[in-house]
Amino acid sequence: MNKKAKRRLVVVGGIVVIAMLVIVAIAGSGGSASSLSIGDVLGGGYEGKKVQVSGSVVADSLTSEGSRAIFEIAPEDGDAAQELTVSYDGALPATFGTGVVAICTGTVTDGMLNATEMVTKCPSKYESAEGSLTVKGLLDQGEAMVGKDTKVCGYVRGDIQAVDADYRFEIESQGATLKVRYDGGLDENIVDGCAVVITGSLGEDGTFTAAEQPAIDEAVSE
């Protein structure tokens, strides 16, 4: 083999080696996240690493900093004292709320999980509307119903709002509409046109606050 051919072989070999190193580096930096418990992350040793952690959203922990949502998650069936702070830059899904299981993927920074991905799990709930008031029936009684435990039924009208909005959605029945507040997660099947049954109380401002997850009317849904 002459010198020219040897030089060409060396150059080609060098290019192949460099390409392989680049591929390995890219694969290493974008590797899959390690699935960890909240206790694992709080125990340290994962700073700067990509991880996936799941836990129940802690009540009254949601705040915001610009476009970022900051909240706490705790073990689903473990030590409630173990709470991990999650920072998530993205739109909160309608199913997000207190007690909902959030599966968060991101990088650990200063003991906080900076999540770039999040999915939620919220169990479905069905209930009969029997014994409940219509929206019109509730509002017709006016101030007499303010603050009282009540079950009201109706059809969802319009879009579902995020948990940090002024209200989550509106329902309508017998021509009357009612705004509903709820700080927990909503079943993903609760959408515009869905028949729901809601247990809670009417506020002085005319908004109904749900005390538990609004239920889908089983008689209409079947």
* 69: pLDDT strictly greater than 60: yes
What six digits make up the tokens of 28?
């290493």
**10 pLDDT band (50/70/90 cuts)?**
very low
Question: What is the rounded distance in angstroms from the CA atom of residue 183 to the CA atom of residue 161?
Answer: 11
Cβ atoms of 108 and 36 within 8 Å: the answer is no
Residue of 136, 139, 142, 96 whose CA lies nearest to 115: 96
Which of 54-63, 77-86, 140-149 is predicted least confidently? Answer: 77-86
Residue of 57, 180, 175, 77 whose CA lies nearest to 122: 57
Residue 96's φ and ψ, nearest 5 degrees, are -75, 140
Mean pLDDT value across the chain:
84
Which of 33-42, 74-83, 147-156 is predicted least confidently? Answer: 74-83
Instruction: Give the pLDDT confidence of 159-198 residue by residue, as tens digits.
Output: 999 998 999 999 999 899 999 999 998 998 999 999 999 9
Class of residue 79 by CB neighbours under 10 A (exposed 0-12, middle 13-18, buried 19+): exposed
> Which residues, other chains included, contact 172 with Cβ-Cβ below 8 Å and sequence gap of 6+?
135, 154, 155, 157, 178
